[in-house]
Amino acid sequence: MLKSDRTRQRILNTAAQEFRKRGYAGTKVNDIAFASNMRAASIYYYFESKDQIFEEVLEIGLKLVFDAVRKAVDAVPASSGHRARLQAAVEAHLRMLHEYGDYSSANIRNFGQTPEEIQLRQMEQRNAYGEYWRDLLAAARDAGALQDRANLSLLRMFLFGAMNWTLEWVKPGKMNSSELARELCRTMFDES
């Protein structure tokens, strides 16, 4: 029962890579197959359709990040304060974004071009992640760790943009997520 799971995972990995590089419609089942060392028909032993693969890649792309961020935040000692929690969250988000760059990028790049039906199913997770950050930032502000700002949700959107955009310019392997996180937090959170 293990070989099968590993093959399935291998297909997902190469699929994520292809979706990142070529987009939803530009990725051919045949490409995924050959990059996974098999023929197109064999893919259908593991997945019902190209859409199913795509949706699973999207899902993984978000879940990996969300889980890691939650875990990183929970690992910050309570004594460290909200500013440290924020920075841990940013660091984890960035780290996962690049450690699983094909999944995250497949998600971020293609979400807006996904068939609506799939988009709707993904929305639940997306919103949950957004709310997680909203709460994180609100808690920080309420604790005085952020200078009072007119609009916290703007800050959150700017932050998402800055973080997600790193996928488009940071060279693969050149990622130093903690340094990047430190600098980004300094830019966006400190007005001392």
Partner DNA sequence: CCCTAATTCTAATTATCATTAGAAAAATGC
Partner DNA sequence: GCATTTTTCTAATGATAATTAGAATTAGGG
DSSP, res 170: S
Q: Tell me how far, at minimum, the Cβ of 189 lies from its own copies, in Å.
A: 9
Choosing among DNA, its own copies, none, which partner's interface includes residue 162 (Cβ < 5 to 8 Å by kind)?
its own copies
Q: Tell me how far, at minimum, the Cβ of 52 lies from its own copies, in Å.
A: 18
Quick one: which of 10, 125, 132, 160 contacts its own copies (CB under 8 A)? 160
Whichever of 11 and 163 has its CB closer to its own copies, that residue is 163
Answer for the pair 156, 53: CB distance below 8 angstroms, yes or no. Answer: no
Interaction of residue 165 with its own copies, rule CB under 8 A:
yes
Q: Tell me how far, at minimum, the Cβ of 97 lies from DNA, in Å.
A: 26
Give dist(CA 125, CA 143) in Å, integer. Answer: 27
Alpha helices (H) along 27-151: 29-35, 40-46, 50-75, 82-99, 101-110, 116-142
Burial per residue of 48-69, b for 16 or more beta-carbon CB atoms within 10 angstroms, e otherwise: eebeebbbbbbbbbbebbbebb
Q: Tell me how far, at minimum, the Cβ of 46 lies from its own copies, in Å.
A: 23
Q: Which residues bind its own copies (CB under 8 A)?
A: 20-26, 105, 109-110, 112-113, 149-151, 154-155, 157-166, 168-169, 180, 183-184, 187-188, 190-192
